[in-house]
Amino acid sequence: MSSFFYNNKFFLQFIFWIIPLAFLPSECLAELNDLINYEDQQENEQIIRFASNEPGDEEKESTDISEELTRPENLSYPLFLGLCCGKCGGNMPLNIPGAGTPEPHEFRIKYNLSWGKMVGLRRGTSNRSTSDAHGQYMMAPRKMDMYMSSVSVGYAFSDRFFAGVMGMYMEKDMEMIRRGDGRRSSMNSQGAGDTMLMTKTLFYADDYLIPTSQVSLLLGVSIPTGSIDQDDKGQILPYSMQLGSGTFDPFIGILYEGSSSPFWWGANASYLARAYENYKSYNLGDEYRLDLYGMYQARHNLVGELQIKSKYVGDIEGEAQEIEQDGNGHMMSNPNMAFMSNLFDPDNYGGSTIDLTTGVQWQPFHNHILNAQFTVPLFQNLHGTQLERDFTASVTYYIEVPLRKSRRSKKSGKGLDFLGF
């Protein structure tokens, strides 16, 4: 039984998070056009009252839209605003930075599980056999599995500004093959990864309620909460087995979103700067990303998505002290001798990749979205000799939690009213 829980811990984590989330909000019976008309009516009444200097009633902290709006007679199902609203979670794939911005005064909780597999070696754009690598190194990697779970929590302060934080936990398993006798060995590292703080500022939208075109600026910083001291019996593990960068890394991006029902599309360009050396005397390479996506709403609660994701990662600069000075990762533990494996050689990191991601978003409840994605590489041009990526599978569960100030909150005291928001 204990082995089952260990081998399936990421699945069990997902179940642990999903069960309580599934019982938070009730379904929404509001029709989207009614919501637009209702918002326009409220704004017009407010403008007229201000213009005439008529004293109005004391402003309500929240409005129960579900009580004000009517459900069309020909609508046989509850309309799920989360997938229809241009500002809600369903307007883009949830793996894009800044995806899933809730209405003002609402929390966003996003939980992700992913599994990535790397099998076989590549140098540049060409496949390379293990025997080729053994011509230069005593040990060569055969495959690697990486499991990651992340939780992000964000809050929309207004229609224009959103801020969030994401923490992660990861586990890496690497299998190695020794030259000569073909003996196999393994390496493992696990623990917390780096933490990302990010803000999203909307600086253009053709409509603030249901925009069909909008542009946002992303700003953030990666905080070095992930370990770079992972070792095996006192010997430092290679760079790819570490859990973080060891540096504070600024992040900037620009996000475009467009829509014309039942289609959505967009682009995201971002830059993560590795500008400083960590305390091990090296820094990872800068990261440049460009993502393009398109989505189609097949049903009221079902959306299909397609992404083209490109990334360039720069070379590692410097060398870890344990490798350069103490001889870890070198033959005979002598820093003047050859590297034991390509993994310890900083020249074997970085490169360009283009991936294809397909996915589906399903909304089981109002304000809840389940996003499943599968990614395969289309192009890989790797620096030096590296493991090539095989695939990545991920599942994301997303939820929006309205507070009392939200347009969509309940006056009845449900949700988070008891917190006083």
Label each residue of 27-79 as H, E or C.
Answer: CCCCCHHHHHHHHHHHHHHHHHHHHHCCCCCCCCCCCCHHHHCCCCCCCCCCC
pLDDT for the residue 320: 95
pLDDT for the residue 103: 81
pLDDT for the residue 27: 38
pTM: predicted TM-score of the whole model, two decimal places: 0.80
Domain extents for the chain? Answer: 82-419
Close Cβ partners of 280 (under 8 Å, ≥ 6 residues apart): 228, 246, 320, 321, 322
Instruction: Match 């600026």 to its residue by tokens.
Output: 217
Give the whole-number percent of the chain exceeding pLDDT 70. 74
Instruction: Please check the confidence at residue 334 and state whether its pLDDT lies above 70.
Output: yes
Reference 33, options 71, 83, 73, 89; nearest CA is 71
Arithmetic mean of pLDDT, 58-71 = 43
Instruction: Please check the confidence at residue 194 and state whether its pLDDT lies above 50.
Output: yes
**Three-class SS state of 385:** strand
pLDDT for the residue 114: 97
Which range (63-72, 115-124, 261-270) has the least confidence? 63-72
Q: How confident is the model at residue 62 (pLDDT cuts 50, 70, 90)?
A: very low
Which residue blocks in 78-152 are alpha helix, DSSP H? Answer: 81-84, 130-134
Other CB atoms within a 10 A radius of the CB of residue 285 amount to 19
Reference 387, options 146, 138, 199, 222; nearest CA is 146
Q: How confident is the model at residue 50 (pLDDT cuts 50, 70, 90)?
A: low
pLDDT for the residue 44: 60
Class of 82-419 in CATH: mainly beta
Amino acid identity of residue 287, one-letter, is: E
Q: How far apart are CA 38 and CA 34, in angstroms?
A: 6
pLDDT for the residue 38: 52
Q: How far apart are CA 97 and CA 100, in angstroms?
A: 9
Close Cβ partners of 415 (under 8 Å, ≥ 6 residues apart): 24, 25, 401, 402, 403, 404, 409
pLDDT for the residue 346: 95
pLDDT for the residue 366: 80
pLDDT for the residue 8: 55
Arithmetic mean of pLDDT, 302-325 = 95
Instruction: Please check the confidence at residue 31 and state whether its pLDDT lies above 90.
Output: no
Reference 261, options 79, 11, 107; nearest CA is 79
Amino acid identity of residue 79, one-letter, is: L
Other CB atoms within a 10 A radius of the CB of residue 80 amount to 25
CB-count exposure of residue 133 (10 Å: 0-12, 13-18, 19+): buried
Q: What is the mean pLDDT of the chain?
A: 82
